[in-house]
Amino acid sequence: MQINNTAAIVTGGASGLGAATAAALAAQGASVFALDLPAAIESAPAVDGVTYLTADVTDEDQVRAAVATAAEHAPLRTVVSCAGIGPSMRILGRKGVHDIGLYAKVVQINLVGTFTVLALASEAIAATEPDENGQRGVVVNTASIAAYDGQIGQVAYASSKGGVVGMTLPAARDLAQHGIRVCTVAPGIVDTPMLATVSEEIRAGLAAGVPFPQRLCSPQEYAKLVTMIVDHDYLNGETIRMDGALRMAPR
């Protein structure tokens, strides 16, 4: 599907996977609208073709307004959800039972937020004119290999990402009549700002656990896969692991 002269939305677009994806889509000629929280946008770099919009993916009204803004400029064709959080807590830990509110928050942001963006953006995409092949758009969601190999302390995160994987096929089937494809990327260990605070020793240990290539994944590699999914018209309803053949150990 063509990216040039279309609009794209990327959530979590001010840093990490989202920032790399926003830049990659802009480089291919899309007018990109990067959605993120105010604090993240304040420190985001200026990128040609990328407009930052303040939006919390758990706020339906904010997401709807951002989608409307993006759809005003060009046909909305591409939507990529990268917004998410990944706190760690055991079900039964030294401080007691897992914080129920934290569990709900993780699911609300990572799963319900992803669905909210998917649903509201699909409404706008479905209103566009299809291309010569009947296509209107592509939605790419972000899961994690934790959806399959959740580690100790990742019960909330793994639950939320497992939900993203689980909704991929039914979402693709729901939206097929509108010419909208839906795929999910499940990354392994990516060198994002979330890892910036750990020591080089820990980073080296994480990289050593990857069968091949024995290194951390870069956000640009995630972005490259997203653009490939957009370009590949027959990819639909699929979750793609991007992990260097890594299978996570219990801890």
Burial of 235 (0-12, 13-18, 19+ CB in 10 A): middle
**Cα separation, 171 vs 58, whole angstroms:** 19
| 189 vs 137: CA distance, rounded Å | 28
Residue 178 in contact with residue 188, Cβ under 8 Å? Answer: no
Residues making up the chain, counted from first to last: 251
Which of 52, 157, 222, 234 is catalytic? The answer is 157
**Catalytic site includes residue 157:** yes
What's the rounded Cα separation, in Å, for the pair 158 and 148? Answer: 8
Give the Cα separation of 64 and 109 in Å (integer): 16
Between CA 134 and CA 120 the distance in angstroms is: 20
Residues that are catalytic: 157
